[in-house]
Every structure is written in C-alpha cells, then in structure tokens.
Chains A and B, each alone.
Chain A
Amino acid sequence: MVEIVVKELDIWFGAVHALRGVNMEIASKEILSIIGPASSGKTTFLRTLNRLNELDVTFKMKGSVELTGLDIKKIEAEHLRKKVGMVFALPLPLPLSIFDNVAYGPKVHGVKNKQKQQEIVEKALKQAYLWDEVKDRLGTSAFKLSGGQQQRLCIARTLAVEPEVILFDEPCSGLDPISTAKVEEAMLMLKANYTLILVTNNVKQAARVGDKTAFFLSGELIEIDRTDKMFTTPHDKRTDDYIRGKFG
C-alpha cells in the first residue's frame, strides 16, 4: 500500500533552490533510507513531509505531497505532525522530566487523564527499549540521560502521539556504535506498525535497515529502488560512485 505520494516537488529557501522536481512513492510499513552527500536536500525533503520547513519564513514550495490520499497542505499542521512524527539528528529532549517529555505530545493533544498518560508513557518507553533503564527515575530531568538514552527517549516521545509515519533525520549521527545498534533494532521492530523514513549519512546503515533506498544529489532524486538492488546493480553511475565512496 502506498502511504505517501510526492509529485513534482520544488522547494526554495529564499533564492536557494533546495529540491528540484522530486517524484516519489513511499510504501507503508516499510523503511525507506535516504542517502546523499551534505546539502543534497535529504533533510529538506524529510522536513517537507511534516511541514516543519514552514517555521522558516523564507520557505517556498511547489508541487504536492499526499498522505494517504490527502494533500498535506489541506491538513492542519498540528494534526499532520501528530500523524507524521520526527526524530532529530541530535537528541533533543525538551527541558522537562523524562515522564513529561513522553507525556508532552499526548497532553497537547488533549489527554488530561493521569492514569491514561501513565499507560501511554510506559507503552512508548517500552517500544523504544528504554523502559527498564528509566522506570525508577521518570521524574528526573531528561538531560540526565546519556546521549543514546536521550535519542531513544525522543523516539518514545514520538511514538506516544501514535503517528502513522516516523521521520528519522540522521538519528545516529551523534551516537556510539552500541547506541546506534539499539536505535536500529528499535527501527526494525517499529516497521511492523509504522512507515519509517530514515535520512542517513551512513551508507552502511541504509543498507542494513532500509527496505528501499533513495539517493539524492544536489536537490534531485537520482534513483530510488529496493535496497538490495540499489547496492548491487544501481542504474545511475553517480549512485554507484557514491555508494562505493568515490565522492561525498
């Protein structure tokens, strides 16, 4: 089933043409990895899907993005972001306790019942493989956690609003190999229930977790295919060069 359809997407920030004519279909309950060198438009593409680019006043967009058949411009931004969650490159806990970080999303969406909040928080932390490490200190500041724990907290926080799609923007760029493995493990488990889109600088990570892989270069989508095909017989020479580490 197709979850997201992107048609003729063009994006500018002021005079900078960040994305050029991108067409893409993203299947549901799969992991799509997006690779490409720095400033190739990967993150911009990701932030289009939850309309986070709109926080930048110089942002301009042409073309359309549809989420399960609905144009995202016609969905209220708050509601869209509830459906399309995001995990950022650096662990970015809110300046709140561990519990309140996870409960923040449900609270702003109107879950006032404490009992219900506790159930959501526990479930989300378990899904992100963090519950056992933090269950005795839910009231302490999220900044007391280690980097890897903070990133899994951010995943839990995103899960707590029960999205359909989760965007990962280089989620492991600041993490050590063991924490990275834990985050990847979490992603593979989440695939059963969510559509995941992973932007990564790490080509090997894309190969490890992605069902499909897309390659961006200078704001253009060069190629998108099944990961195994992409990494063995890519169509475009530039894809081949990038995967082999000849540039970027």
Chain B
Amino acid sequence: MSNAERTQKIAFFFIFLAAFLIVVPVGLIVAIIIQKGLPAITWQFLTDVPRQGMRAGGIFPAIVGTVYLVIGAIIFALPIGVMAAIYLSEYARDNFLTRMIKLAIVNLAGVPSVVYGLFGLALFVVFFKFGASILSGSLTLGIMILPIIITTSREALESVPHSFREASCSLGASKWQTVRYIILPNSIAGILTGTILGIGRAAGETAPILFTVAAFYLPQLPQSIFDQAMALPYHLYVISTQVPNVDEKIRYGTALVLLALVLFMNLVAIIIRYKFRKQKKW
C-alpha cells in the first residue's frame, strides 16, 4: 500500500468516525428516554392533573400549556418573519438600513435564551402589563424564533430562480403580484422548514418562559391568553430539581412526552411541506 493510500485510509476512518459520532448521542438520548420513560406513560399520566405535590397524577396541564405556547409563538413569529424575509429578499436595496437589519437578525439569533426571558419579563410582563401569561410567553418565544424563521424563509425566497421574476415582470406584473403569485407559492416548502425548526426550539426552551408564563404548579387549565400556564420543559425542570423524591419514571416520562410532542408537531409540518414539494413544477 502506498503512502498516499494509507494516509487516505486513515483520514477516511476519522472522518467517518466523526460523522458516526453524531448518531450515537441522538440514539442514546432517544433510547434512554424511551427505556426509562415508557413505563410512566399511561392514559392517566397524559390526561390527569399533577397530584400529591407532583409526585403522582399526570401532566395534562403542562402538555396543553406547551401546545398553546408553541401555537402562540408561531402565530406571532411566522407572519412577521415571512414578511420581513420578503422585504429583505425582494425589496431591500443594499444600504445602511438593510445592513443594520441583517446585523440585528444575526445578533438576535445569538442572544442567550435566558436573556430573552428577562427581556420578556421587562417588556411584556411589566411594561405592557400582560402579567405572567400565555400572551407574554408566546411573544417572548416568538421573538426568540424570529431569526430562524427569517433566515430560512429568505433562503427559500432567494432559491426561486431569478428568471421567474423577470418573466413575471415582463408581463407587466408588479413586484408584489410577482411575490404573491409566483415567488411565495414556490417557497412555502422552505418557509415550513424554518417553521419546523422554530417549533422545536419554542417547545423545548425553559429560560424564556421562566419569568413570563410558566407556573410552578397549576392544576387547572388556562382559561384565556392572560392566564399563567404550566409548560413541559419548566415542569421537567421543577420535578427534577425543585421537588424532592419524584419517581424517576415520571421525570423521564415527562421528557418522553415533550420529545414526542415536538416530533408530532414537526411531523405535521413535514407532511404539509411534502405536499407542497410534490406540487413544485420545475
């Protein structure tokens, strides 16, 4: 075996190892959570309120709370994110303002989540007087996932060939008509990818909801968007660190439900995206 060949084999081995190492933690996380959490999953666990100081009963309010928060965050972030992306990709000229907006988006993506929590507390809870509520939490999560949605939407819009814009304009369509009828319909798949990433992030974060919405223990369901709510990631944190003697399987069961919930919401978005991809005509 020549020297070059040997070096190549060694290099290939390490590259493959690095790639394979990504699979290991994912596999282990899923395996451990399923193995330890599955015994806890019963009908009662999914549909009952927590009992005996959260050491028994179910986690239904936390599931509902998380679903509300994710939907709220998407309702807020998706339209604003997509509109901002359209502005940046179709209308914005390369000037100081545009560069500032782009810089702000990059920075927004880099802000630690606990800072979002404090920001949400100061702005929505205190200044706008929304209190600790689903509204405050959704808005805080929404701002957190905005950069994800803007960035992926922009990529999706810009991946529509430039020639379609020319063809549409050459027929006398306005810029907005071109966006509305040609560009948006052909970038929905990419926009949904951003939404999927946003859902996962919004559902899983603890810090942004810590001060803005999450209730330590609230055995009834929220009645309006101005109510506090329990949420799965915060509930998991509470029963893991704040409440002594919680059965391990309840903790892992909660984690499993959170994981399954995110997967399920992603699945819905993936199916919609698949449908749109199939329609793609070029």
Contact = CB atoms under 8 A, between A and B. Distances in A.
Interface in B131-148: none
A105 B172 contact: yes
Interface range for B: 20 to 34
Contact of B171 (A90, A95, A108): A108
A50 B167 CA distance: 12
B171 A142 contact: no
Given A57-B93, A94-B164, A95-B182, A108 B282 contact: no
Contact of B166 (A52, A105, A157, A161): A52
B280 interface: yes
B94 interface: yes
Interface in B75-104: 93-94
B181 interface: yes
Contacts of A105: 171-173
Contact of A95 (B93, B172, B282): B282
Contacts of B167: 88, 92-94, 154
A162 B92 CA distance: 32
B272 interface: no
* Among A57, A92, A108, A154, residue most surrounded by chain B Cβ atoms (within 10 Å): A108
A184 B94 CA distance: 42
Nearest to B178: A108
Contacts of A104: 168, 171, 173, 181
Interface in A89-105: 90, 92-96, 104-105
Given A88-B166, A92-B167, A94-B182, A79 B282 contact: no
A158 interface: yes
Contacts of A157: 171
The 3 closest A-B pairs by CB, nearest first: A82-B172, A81-B172, A105-B171
Interface of B: 93-94, 163-174, 177, 181-182, 185-186, 280-282
24 contacts: A55-B166, A57-B94, A81-B169, A82-B171, A93-B167, A94-B182, A95-B164, A95-B182, A95-B185, A95-B186, A95-B281, A95-B282, A104-B171, A104-B173, A105-B172, A105-B173, A108-B172, A108-B181, A143-B281, A154-B167, A157-B171, A158-B170, A158-B171, A161-B172
Given A50-B170, A104-B168, A158-B170, 8 more contacts: A78-B174, A81-B169, A88-B167, A94-B168, A95-B186, A95-B281, A95-B282, A108-B174
